[in-house]
Amino acid sequence: MRATIDVAELTGIFSVRWRVSCRLEFTAIELAAIRFAKLDDRTVYERQSQTGDVSRSLKQARDQGFGWEFDFPLAALSESIRIETEILPTIKSWLDAAQSFKTGSRTIEL
Protein backbone atom coordinates (compact mmCIF):
# COMPACT_ATOMS: atom_id res chain seq x y z
CA MET A 1 0.00 0.00 0.00
CA ARG A 2 1.23 3.45 -0.86
CA ALA A 3 -0.34 6.57 0.61
CA THR A 4 0.25 10.17 -0.41
CA ILE A 5 -0.72 12.82 2.14
CA ASP A 6 -0.95 16.36 0.79
CA VAL A 7 -1.31 19.54 2.82
CA ALA A 8 -2.21 22.56 0.72
CA GLU A 9 -2.86 26.19 1.56
CA LEU A 10 -6.04 27.45 -0.12
CA THR A 11 -6.10 31.22 -0.46
CA GLY A 12 -9.48 32.84 -0.97
CA ILE A 13 -10.46 36.47 -1.29
CA PHE A 14 -11.16 36.90 2.42
CA SER A 15 -9.64 33.87 4.08
CA VAL A 16 -6.98 31.21 4.04
CA ARG A 17 -7.80 27.54 4.64
CA TRP A 18 -5.69 24.41 4.69
CA ARG A 19 -6.66 21.18 2.97
CA VAL A 20 -5.34 17.80 4.03
CA SER A 21 -5.93 14.99 1.57
CA CYS A 22 -4.79 11.41 1.22
CA ARG A 23 -4.66 9.17 -1.86
CA LEU A 24 -4.22 5.41 -1.58
CA GLU A 25 -2.64 3.01 -4.06
CA PHE A 26 -2.69 -0.75 -3.68
CA THR A 27 -0.74 -3.56 -5.32
CA ALA A 28 -2.57 -6.30 -7.21
CA ILE A 29 -2.07 -8.66 -4.27
CA GLU A 30 -3.52 -6.12 -1.85
CA LEU A 31 -6.52 -5.52 -4.14
CA ALA A 32 -7.11 -9.28 -4.22
CA ALA A 33 -6.97 -9.35 -0.39
CA ILE A 34 -9.47 -6.48 -0.24
CA ARG A 35 -11.87 -8.39 -2.51
CA PHE A 36 -11.30 -11.68 -0.63
CA ALA A 37 -11.97 -10.14 2.79
CA LYS A 38 -14.75 -7.87 1.47
CA LEU A 39 -13.09 -4.77 2.91
CA ASP A 40 -14.42 -2.29 0.33
CA ASP A 41 -17.34 -1.22 2.52
CA ARG A 42 -15.29 -0.77 5.71
CA THR A 43 -15.21 2.84 6.92
CA VAL A 44 -11.67 4.18 6.93
CA TYR A 45 -12.24 7.89 7.50
CA GLU A 46 -14.79 9.81 9.55
CA ARG A 47 -14.86 13.49 10.33
CA GLN A 48 -17.56 15.51 12.09
CA SER A 49 -18.14 19.24 11.89
CA GLN A 50 -20.84 21.85 12.21
CA THR A 51 -21.43 21.78 8.45
CA GLY A 52 -21.80 18.03 8.16
CA ASP A 53 -20.22 14.66 8.66
CA VAL A 54 -17.89 12.97 6.21
CA SER A 55 -17.45 9.22 6.05
CA ARG A 56 -15.37 7.33 3.47
CA SER A 57 -15.29 3.62 2.80
CA LEU A 58 -12.14 1.88 1.66
CA LYS A 59 -13.51 1.77 -1.90
CA GLN A 60 -14.25 5.52 -1.85
CA ALA A 61 -10.85 6.27 -0.34
CA ARG A 62 -9.18 4.16 -3.02
CA ASP A 63 -11.14 5.72 -5.88
CA GLN A 64 -11.41 9.37 -4.73
CA GLY A 65 -9.08 9.80 -1.78
CA PHE A 66 -10.22 11.47 1.41
CA GLY A 67 -9.51 14.61 3.37
CA TRP A 68 -10.81 17.76 4.98
CA GLU A 69 -10.35 21.53 5.03
CA PHE A 70 -9.30 23.42 8.14
CA ASP A 71 -9.30 27.05 9.27
CA PHE A 72 -6.02 26.77 11.15
CA PRO A 73 -2.67 25.29 10.08
CA LEU A 74 -2.20 23.48 13.40
CA ALA A 75 -5.49 21.62 12.88
CA ALA A 76 -4.35 20.59 9.40
CA LEU A 77 -1.04 19.35 10.80
CA SER A 78 -2.86 17.41 13.50
CA GLU A 79 -5.10 15.76 10.91
CA SER A 80 -2.15 14.78 8.71
CA ILE A 81 -0.52 13.17 11.75
CA ARG A 82 -3.79 11.35 12.59
CA ILE A 83 -3.96 9.95 9.05
CA GLU A 84 -0.35 8.77 9.25
CA THR A 85 -0.43 7.30 12.76
CA GLU A 86 -4.01 6.00 13.11
CA ILE A 87 -5.86 5.60 9.82
CA LEU A 88 -3.13 4.19 7.57
CA PRO A 89 -1.87 1.62 10.13
CA THR A 90 -5.47 0.43 10.60
CA ILE A 91 -5.89 -0.11 6.86
CA LYS A 92 -2.52 -1.89 6.71
CA SER A 93 -3.52 -4.21 9.58
CA TRP A 94 -6.73 -5.15 7.72
CA LEU A 95 -4.68 -5.98 4.63
CA ASP A 96 -2.15 -8.02 6.61
CA ALA A 97 -4.94 -9.98 8.31
CA ALA A 98 -6.68 -10.66 5.00
CA GLN A 99 -3.45 -11.82 3.35
CA SER A 100 -2.48 -14.11 6.21
CA PHE A 101 -5.90 -15.78 6.48
CA LYS A 102 -5.71 -19.52 6.01
CA THR A 103 -8.50 -22.09 5.94
CA GLY A 104 -8.40 -25.37 7.80
CA SER A 105 -8.00 -26.29 11.41
CA ARG A 106 -5.19 -25.30 13.68
CA THR A 107 -4.20 -26.17 17.20
CA ILE A 108 -3.18 -23.50 19.64
CA GLU A 109 -1.48 -24.18 22.96
CA LEU A 110 -1.72 -21.54 25.65
This model's pTM is above 0.85: no
SS3 of residue 78 by DSSP: helix
Q: Long-range contacts for 96-100 (Cβ within 8 Å, ≥24 apart)?
A: 97/37, 98/33, 98/34, 98/36, 98/37, 98/39, 99/29, 99/30, 99/33
Domain that holds residue 87: 2-100
Q: Tell me the pLDDT of the chain averaged across its residues.
A: 90
Residue 81 is assigned to a structural domain of this protein? yes
Number of domains comprising the chain: 1
Confidence of residue 102 (pLDDT cuts 50, 70, 90): low
Residue 110 is assigned to a structural domain of this protein? no
Phi-psi region of 38 (alpha: psi -120 to 50; beta: other; left: phi over 0): left
